Amino acid sequence: MHAPRITVSLVLLLLAGLILAPAVPVSAQEVNLTFWSWRTEDQAAYDQFIQAFEAENPGIHVRFVPYKNTEYNTIVATALQAGSGPDIIHLRAYGGLEPLADAGYLMPMDDQVEALKAFNPDVLRGATNRKDGKVYGVPFALQTVQVLYNVRVFQELGLKEPQTWDELLQVAAALKKAGYIPFANGAKEGWTLETFFGAVGPSFYGPEFYSEVVAGETTFEDPRFKAAVEKMLELRPYLPESYMGVGYTDMQVMFAQELAGMMLAGSYELGTFAQMNPNLQVGVFPIPPERAGEPAAMTMYVDGSYGVNAATKHPEAALEFIRFLASREYGQMFADTLKQISAVPGTQPQDPVLAELVQLMEAHGTPYLMLTAFRYGQPSGSTLLQNELQGVFAGKLSVEQAARNIQKGLASWYEPFQ
């Protein structure tokens, strides 16, 4: 007969204890977030960034999980379709994020991240879904494409930054005569040829072609586009031997080990080369125009953004991390550590070469043609350009045929061409 009274007493004591116990602060709760990325080469840097965030946000733990670049898109899409995936997602730019946003897999950022209001609208376009106009990520970097050159080798041979296309060819010839590979670029992987075109093309097809072809007022069979591809071919005598078999890693090694004097490449290589050869002195310049006094152009683009899985079980913690990634503190850390141009407004590159790139970008910047305008359907402009350029460089296609094939492929889905 005493047992019920004891039980009731215990229950009352437990309830009293619960009522009187201090509330557990939300910040003290342990939350584990996963952050998927394609940036395998940046693992150490992101671990450092995450440590800085965790020091300011005790209880929130973030694990950076990078996947192979070429497999990343499929891995992320498959996981999200299955209702899983990471909390934080490194998102591709422009057309790369739209299928995920359209499917409802991403959390809109517009009203969640106050710092986005200060971002350049052009930069935000790289993280915006055109269908609903919402921003789905915090842009992380701006990239430029230009000539990187070995300062020591240029000084050794008495070479200067060329001001015209002919001067560039003369520099290449001088490097070749001295036993250096003039340009480290190869053609084994199509995307490196698109980068090659991104460096050479804009100085020859010009800003008017970009706006006209995007509007459908001209096509890729325009003489300006074909002339730009022809200019690329003028550099073939200065590429490595058997360049059709030279891959991306080969290119990096040739330039980092000072076997090559120049490389047509993105600004993202600066950080990589600093790791591969800390003694390497790198200079930069845009592809010079045909004649002195004509404008040079330098391709630029938003490299991607940080987004949140709409199905995350920890939305508040994930957004807290995203707000950190949108802060000036993070942007400065990103630029200083990875030697890339941060997309966060107000950051100042400490690296002098990176600072010079920002000045060049402001003076000569032009959108990366296929990435910013023709990656919203299949076959994408990048896929077409890469495949056709490989055919041209291998001598299997004429420039005329390549231009026709690109136009035909895009016309299958790009409305202004229909």
Domain residue spans of the chain = 31-142+303-363, 143-300+367-417
d(CA 16, CA 13) in angstroms, rounded, equals 5
CB distance 88 to 322 below 8 Å: yes
Please, what sign has the CA dihedral across residues 124, 126, 132, 133?
Answer: positive
pLDDT of residue 202: 96
Fold match, 31-142+303-363 / 143-300+367-417 = yes
pLDDT of residue 41: 87
Which among 66, 119, 46 is positioned nearest to 302, based on CA atoms? 119
What is the value of pTM for the model shown?
Answer: 0.87
Which among 350, 347, 367, 343 is positioned nearest to 113, based on CA atoms? 343
Per-residue pLDDT of the chain (418 residues; tens, 9 = 90+): 343 444 444 444 444 444 444 444 444 579 999 999 999 989 999 999 999 999 999 999 999 999 998 899 999 999 999 999 999 999 999 999 999 999 999 999 999 999 999 999 999 999 999 999 999 999 999 999 999 999 999 999 999 999 999 999 999 999 999 999 999 999 999 999 999 999 999 999 998 999 999 999 999 999 999 999 999 999 999 999 999 999 999 999 999 999 999 999 999 999 899 999 999 999 999 999 999 989 899 999 999 999 999 999 999 999 999 999 999 999 999 999 999 999 999 999 999 999 999 999 999 999 999 999 999 999 999 999 999 999 999 999 999 999 999 999 999 999 999 9
pLDDT of residue 21: 46
Tell me which DSSP letter residue 238 carries.
G
143-300+367-417 CATH pick, 3.30.70.1400, 3.50.50.60, 3.40.190.10, 2.30.31.70: 3.40.190.10
pLDDT of residue 28: 54
CB distance 203 to 365 below 8 Å: no
31-142+303-363 CATH pick, 1.20.210.10, 3.40.50.150, 3.40.80.10, 3.40.190.10: 3.40.190.10
Contacts of 23 (CB under 8 A, 6+ apart): none
pLDDT of residue 10: 45
d(CA 380, CA 377) in angstroms, rounded, equals 5
d(CA 143, CA 271) in angstroms, rounded, equals 12
pLDDT of residue 207: 85
